[in-house]
A and B are shown apart, each in its own frame.
Chain A
Amino acid sequence: MANTGWDEFEIGAMLRTFEGEAGDIAGTLQEDRNYTQNSSFSASVADWRIEKPVFNKDFCIDCQFCWIYCPDISIISRDKKMIGIDMDHCKGCGICVEVCPTNPKSLLMFPEQAEEEVEIANWPAKETKEK
């Protein structure tokens, strides 16, 4: 289906997001869903990024601001904890870094080619406010 050309596409046809019967989708987490090739979940926009967010869980307070304000469903939160970033769907907009309230921020933007471990090891220290 995914390889069908636009002129072979049947007018008025449906695109199915899930294989077989889709029951309670609102109660099924993404990793448990049976996506077809037609769901954009199967696609990637990773090549849009110039900068990528890096997550340092040492400073995270699980406030979930990044989860609610992420436009691309790329912040993975499970059991009320932020556990990582979905790098296939992140477009590198940087909203998560802007809304992060911790000091120092637990999410920062780095160039796409940066090494995650190196950047976490060199994480900036806490900023003190000058009076």
Chain B
Amino acid sequence: MSEMKKIKNLKEFSTSADRFEGANLLCPGCAHSIIVREVLNATNDDLVLAASTGCLEVCTAVYPYTSWDASWIHIGFENGSTAVAGAEAMYKALKTKGRLKQPDRNPKFVAFGGDGASYDIGFQWISGCMERGHNMMYVVLDNEVYANTGGQRSSSTPIGANATTSPAGRVSYGETKNKKDIVAIMGAHNIPYAAQVAPNKWKDMVKKIQHGMEVDGPVFINAVSPCTTEWKFDPKDTMHLTDLATDTLVFPLYEIIDGHELNITYRPKNVIPVEEYLAAQGRFRHLFKDEYKYLIKEWQERVDANWAYLNRREEARV
């Protein structure tokens, strides 16, 4: 067992040697690579990585280039999780047979997927991996839309958002279905660790990633990733949007241990009204018209109810 990388502060963290390269083709200001960097830099161990089809996969493996400095595989839209699970099963088998060439090394198995690949298309595959108990980590880069193919709605798209398959206009206010609560679903698999993270709270994120890499068993991480193209905001405001997402409690940061021990890991000092989060994004612009204003109130009520629910779960340890 190798030692956990010690990261006390940001200065210490900044001595990490990145294993993700620039000149990938992600949009300027994309939060995907910020999240990927924070995950990869959280450990010094070898990495076995996979990605489901999505922005990250398409933009980091454009022939003849690769942006990854570790073993990386892509197969299909749905099976980033099972690709890594297969590699992990083989590693375990070779270890039992004593046929590993470098048995002292302690590789970590991590799969990345967008919200489309995780909430919709690869859902059954991820559920299978969690149920079979592979020693792996699955990280969702949740930008709430199929950004790579032109902004179609996914089951992660929240109510009121304007997406190309649920456009807002005279007839409709955009997406009408509520967002799927993926962390609770994965927590209900009774896996050792499920958590929601945000790239702006890097310390919280690194702590959760390191914990997830240490535990034996499947780990599920949901990371909020503001999308400058589809959420329609200026690229320089990515971190501002992430701050708004965590401080309005639209993306509360919490963890679920063994499926029943819920801990809220970040409580904002000043909770910001959800209206500010909605106002910062072009995809919610139509909500500020008179006929749709009631939706903002509903948004706030929904966010408050979810926060109260999380607090109740934390208290009751269920």
Contact = CB atoms under 8 A, between A and B. Distances in A.
Interface in B6-26: 10-26
B276 interface: no
Interface string B29-45: 11111100110000111
Nearest to A16: B66
A71 B235 CA distance: 11
B236 interface: yes
B23 A45 contact: yes
B178 to A, nearest CB: 30
Interface string B54-72: 0000001111111111100
Nearest to B34: A71
Given A1-B64, A39-B65, A48-B28, A30 B235 contact: no
Contacts of B63: 6, 9, 15
A80 B199 contact: no
A26 B17 contact: yes
B66 A69 contact: no
B2 to A, nearest CB: 11
The B interface is mostly helix, strand or loop, or mixed, namely loop
A114 interface: no
A62 interface: yes
A29 B202 contact: no
A30 B18 contact: yes
Given A40-B22, A92-B28, A93-B238, A68 B67 contact: no
A40 B60 CA distance: 8
Given A71-B30, A94-B29, A95-B235, A44 B69 contact: no
B17 A28 contact: yes
Given A71-B29, A93-B29, A98-B236, A30 B60 contact: no
B239 interface: yes
Given A44-B23, A74-B22, A2 B239 contact: no
A88 interface: yes
A28 to B, nearest CB: 6
A120 B238 CA distance: 26
A110 interface: no
Nearest to B31: A71
A25 B69 contact: yes
Interface in A1-41: 1-2, 4, 6, 9, 15, 17-18, 22, 25-30, 33, 37-41
Contacts of A73: 18, 20-22, 33, 37
Given A17-B68, A64-B13, A95-B238, A40 B23 contact: yes
B137 to A, nearest CB: 17
Contacts of A86: 22
Contacts of A15: 61, 63-66
Interface in A81-108: 86, 88-95, 97-99
A41 B11 contact: no
A62 B28 contact: no
B95 interface: no
Contact of B236 (A43, A48, A97): A97
21 contacts: A15-B64, A17-B68, A25-B19, A26-B16, A26-B17, A38-B64, A40-B60, A42-B23, A63-B10, A65-B10, A68-B14, A69-B239, A71-B30, A77-B14, A88-B23, A93-B236, A93-B238, A95-B29, A95-B239, A98-B237, A98-B240
Interface of B: 10-26, 28-34, 37-38, 43-46, 60-70, 199-200, 202, 234-240
Interface of A: 1-2, 4, 6, 9, 15, 17-18, 22, 25-30, 33, 37-45, 48, 62-65, 67-74, 77-80, 86, 88-95, 97-99, 109
Closest 3 CB pairs of A and B: A89-B22, A94-B236, A93-B28
Given A68-B38, A69-B239, A77-B15, 16 more contacts: A15-B64, A33-B69, A38-B65, A39-B66, A39-B69, A40-B22, A40-B67, A41-B21, A45-B23, A63-B10, A69-B34, A73-B21, A80-B14, A88-B23, A91-B28, A98-B240
